[in-house]
Homo-oligomer: A and B are copies of this chain.
Amino acid sequence: MDIPPRHSDHEAHAGCALRSRGDDCRFCGVRHLSICQALDINELDQLEKMASDSVYEERAVLFREEDEVSSVFNLTAGVARLIRSLPDGRRQVTGFALPGDFLGISLAKKWRYSAEAVTPLVACRFRRSTFETFSEKNPHLIKKMHEFASQELNMAQDHMVLLGRLTAEEKLASFLVEMKKRWARVAGHEQGLIRLPMGRQDIADYLGLTIETVSRVINQMQRDRKLVIVPDGVRFVDQNYFDDLAL
């Protein structure tokens, strides 16, 4: 009821061709971004046999908080929101997963957050038990997973500063700069357009604000000629303004 359905354009592909594993890991478009970068051709072949591509449509639920972790996911296309909910309905979006991101890095028994497709998305899926067995035999995969987890921990700490100590304006600026950087990494180069496939409510729940404040601040930035709002995103007009404000 609070999940925003959006225009069904295929945001999944970040300006280039749709990145999907297809049936051959060797040609996977997100391999260099994902934990698979730790594997050689031979190991990749083994892993491929365990994988199955899953496609989700917009707003589909990949898994829910408290569910058993039966599968782990390597996102190949699209965007997911990761959500923690309180009993009374308050939500905190703990992150957005982009192509190359891995869901299930902790190898815990139960999910500690829900994941929902913000756009149509494609994920390379593994049975948890199979994946865990494989990783036990590949120490450099564990090492790589640990690197990814450490990176996520850094981002989580950044986000704590944002949530605890930034103003609404600084939060929005930081968020936009973060999205710009992350899309650049996925696309392989900077982009003029900063894609925002998630709705205002998701942004609000990510930044610890209300939807009204998000709307007000972004529109004020547009009035002040700091950015322009375009379909599915924004474009920076005054990059310095954002660099100065962002965390």
Residue of A86, A145, A152, A156 most packed against chain B (CB within 10 A): A156
Nearest Cβ distance between residue A9 and chain B, in whole angstroms?
29
Interface on chain A toward B: helix, strand, loop, or mixed SS? Answer: helix
Nearest Cβ distance between residue A120 and chain B, in whole angstroms?
26
Beta-carbon contact of A92 and B149 below 8 Å: no
Bound-state Cα–Cα, A228 to B60, Å: 48
A side interface size, CB within 8 A = 35
Beta-carbon contact of B160 and A92 below 8 Å: yes
Beta-carbon contact of B154 and A92 below 8 Å: no
Beta-carbon contact of A208 and B105 below 8 Å: no
Query: A153 interface residue, CB < 8 Å from B?
Result: yes
Give the contacts of A91-116 with B (CB-CB under 8 A).
91-92, 94, 105-108, 112-113
Bound-state Cα–Cα, A150 to B145, Å: 10
Nearest Cβ distance between residue A93 and chain B, in whole angstroms?
9
Shortest Cβ distance from A137 into B: residue: B139
Shortest Cβ distance from A150 into B: residue: B106
Query: A142 interface residue, CB < 8 Å from B?
Result: yes
Q: How many copies of the polypeptide does the oligomer hold? A: 2
Q: Which of A72-80, A161-169, A232-240 contacts B (4 or more CB under 8 A)?
A: A161-169
Query: A81 interface residue, CB < 8 Å from B?
Result: no
Query: A157 interface residue, CB < 8 Å from B?
Result: yes
Shortest Cβ distance from A208 into B: residue: B164
A161 to chain B: which residues have CB within 8 Å? Answer: 84, 86, 92, 94
Query: A143 interface residue, CB < 8 Å from B?
Result: yes
Bound-state Cα–Cα, A198 to B116, Å: 39
| Nearest 9 CB-CB pairings of A with B | A164-B208, A106-B150, A156-B156, A163-B163, A92-B161, A139-B139, A146-B146, A90-B165, A163-B164
Q: What are 22 residue pairs bridging A and B, where the CB atoms are less than 8 Å apart in the complex?
A: A84-B160, A92-B161, A92-B165, A94-B161, A106-B154, A107-B146, A107-B150, A108-B154, A112-B157, A139-B142, A142-B142, A142-B146, A146-B146, A149-B149, A149-B153, A156-B160, A160-B160, A163-B163, A163-B208, A164-B205, A164-B208, A165-B208
